[in-house]
Chains A and B, each alone.
Chain A
Amino acid sequence: MSTSVDRPAGAGAQAPAPAGGKDTSLQRAGDWARRAPLLPALIFMILVTQLPFIGTLIISFMNWNAYYPDQIGFNGLDNYITILTSPNFLSAIWTTILLTAGVVLTSLVLGTVIALLLDRAFRGRGIVRTMMITPFLIVPVAAALLWKHALYNPSYGLFNGMLTLIFGENAPQPDWISQWPLGSIIASLVWQWTPFMMLIILAGLQGRPLDVIEAARIDGCSTWQVFRYMTFPHLRQYLELGGLLGSIYVVQNFDAVFTITSGALGTANLPFIIYQTFYNAKEYGQASAAGVITLIGTIAIATFALRVVSSLFREEGR
């Protein structure tokens, strides 16, 4: 995939031409000597990650259901028409957007607040930081199981148990997953992703120019002014980075949707529906068309994300 990213450090990025530039064969040999260590990784990546997309693109124009192997053939844009007029697919697009935006925005806000709290000196800061990142270190399927069975379960889950503990026998006992299916998934993912956002924002906070802030304080700036005019502009690119990386990972979420609701109750997102079309329904053509559409949608986010990473990369210099 090639995107129009501003290339960092233009001149310095070029490999310096060998001194004896006249001897072209020697120069070429030098170029290859430089490239040699890179080639295995590059070729491996192209083979394993790029070729499958070509396969997906070709299959997306085919009528191919593995249950009817004698009816395989090309059918033009039929799969795209089927997919784009299927209410399931369209609702999956909407679910994916809601899920991603819900998780990323909530965890970004929470992560920023917690990062600001953790950026201060207080007793046990290291312990709190370790406690905060623990949710991120639970295997995603395990985390989803924990939320589904141990927290959300209407009869013995911790949430309803705490309600009974606090409000007594007549406490409300909601069936969390049935009543708020998407909200339940979002909450469990926010729990896992807030630590990620917190770590990125904390890194941003710790890279602030403290001398400038000190000077502003001496000049009589209030805490709010320092935050609004100095910390926040500095954090902006870290917020962007966190938001974009979070989006890239959460858009692809499969584990939580699969585990908590199995895609029922309107929670099937694009990865889940493609998985289902391919793995359960064996509609290879339609699954591929859905994959291609998802791919096109993601390229838009990815291009923007690459630009943000590129700007950080440029500042870092070499």
Chain B
Amino acid sequence: MTALETSGAKPTATKEIPTNAPKPSRGALLLGVAAWVIGIIFVFPVLWMLLTSLHSETNAATNPPSFFAPLTLESWANFFGASSGASPWPPLINSATASIISTILVLVLSIPAAYALSIKPVRKWTDVMFFFLSTKMLPVVAGLLPIYLIAQFAGMLDNIYTLVIIYTSMNLPIAVWMMRSFLAEVPVEVLEAAAMDGCGLLRTLRQIVIPMVLPGIAATSLICFIFSWNELLFARVLTATVAQTAPVFLTGFVTSQGLFLAKVCAAALAVSLPVLIAGFAAQDKLVQGLSLGAIK
């Protein structure tokens, strides 16, 4: 690695410093317009999904598209079970249960672990860090069958708590890496003072460390929540009717069923809504979570 690369490699909080601020020339204006156009192209399918979900089924499936058809909440009402069809509430509640409980478990396991990897590091703590990371890089599909067989043997198929365990293991490495980078920023003096006052591990964590890294914990939880909420493969294999999650419920729309476009769009958007909210809330920490803490 050359000196040039390392010299500036530490990403600092220089977010709002624009590179060429002062001269809004014509070129700069054009580039700004280009950025806007690209942003609109990327967000357009989502807006289209929203608009379609607000049209009646006959207006949703027209060619050419009817952008200005009258708006209606029919499909949303339809999706949430006003008319016939399976109610989406049990799958949504299952997804919320699996995501929230697994996120809490992840925090309970990862915060002490991150403490033992940064504040009072164990020997060879980097090896442990890379062990956690390596589990994230192996294909989950290679472990799918044994997990299925164990769940079958234990009578835990179609049980939401099986998914809780799987999602916890899926997100724990991400959380350990993120939490470690947050805990590493806690000043040593504060911890020394706590030790001087005779604080034990739990009390140090609860009264000193956790309040100081609360924003980091919030970001970590939101990212773990998103990943759990999105997961399909394990949920599809390990659940059936009782513990079915929202993404599994959505796979019911894979084959076309006559006029159903508005309902599909309402369903897809409704299921994505919690992720959109969590994602926008965690926007600034999103990169850090997705890169497993490699980028600050």
Contact = CB atoms under 8 A, between A and B. Distances in A.
A35 B121 CA distance: 8
A57 B177 CA distance: 29
B217 interface: no
A212 interface: yes
A84 to B, nearest CB: 16
B240 to A, nearest CB: 12
A183 interface: no
A3 B246 contact: no
B4 interface: yes
A45 B125 CA distance: 16
SS class of chain A's interface: helix, strand, loop or mixed?
A: helix
A151 B91 CA distance: 26
Interface string A291-316: 11011001101100110011111011
A203 B296 CA distance: 8
A132 interface: yes
Contacts of A202: 287
B220 interface: no
Contacts of B31: 117, 120, 122
A248 B64 contact: no
Interface in B244-279: 246-247, 250-251, 253-254, 256, 261, 264-265, 267-269, 271-272, 275-276, 278-279
Interface stretch (B77-85, B106-114, B189-197): B106-114
B1 to A, nearest CB: 7
Contact of B126 (A8, A129, A230, A302): A8
A35 B275 CA distance: 35
A228 interface: no
Nearest to A123: B32
Interface in A154-170: 155-156, 158, 160-162, 164-165
Nearest to B15: A206
Contacts of A151: 45, 48
A245 B291 contact: yes
B108 to A, nearest CB: 8
A40 B10 contact: no
Contacts of B143: 49, 52-53, 55-56, 291
Interface residues on B, range: 35 or more
B117 A38 contact: yes
A41 B110 contact: yes
A139 interface: yes
Contacts of B12: 207
A135 B32 CA distance: 21
B250 A142 contact: yes
A131 interface: yes
B269 A142 contact: yes
Nearest to A312: B294
A275 B32 CA distance: 45
Contact of B28 (A33, A120, A129, A161): A120
B184 A291 contact: no
Nearest to B142: A291
B65 A162 contact: yes
A251 B137 CA distance: 10
B145 A41 contact: no
Nearest to B146: A55
Given A52-B145, A299-B138, 10 more contacts: A15-B125, A40-B113, A138-B275, A139-B250, A149-B253, A156-B62, A204-B295, A207-B12, A259-B251, A318-B118
Interface of B: 1-2, 4-12, 14-15, 17-21, 28-29, 31-32, 34-36, 38-40, 42-43, 45-46, 48-49, 52, 60-65, 109-110, 112-113, 115-118, 120-150, 165-166, 168-169, 172-173, 176, 181, 184, 201, 226, 229-230, 232-233, 237, 246-247, 250-251, 253-254, 256, 261, 264-265, 267-269, 271-272, 275-276, 278-280, 283, 286-287, 290-292, 294-296
10 contacts: A34-B116, A135-B43, A137-B280, A138-B268, A142-B269, A145-B267, A149-B261, A191-B42, A271-B141, A302-B137
Interface of A: 1-3, 5, 7-9, 13-15, 31, 33-38, 40-42, 44-45, 48-56, 59, 114, 117-125, 127-143, 145-151, 153, 155-156, 158, 160-162, 164-165, 191, 194-196, 199-200, 202-204, 206-210, 212-213, 230, 233-234, 236-238, 241, 245, 248, 251-252, 254-255, 258-259, 262, 270-271, 274-275, 278-279, 284, 287-288, 291-292, 294-295, 298-299, 301-302, 305-306, 309-313, 315-318
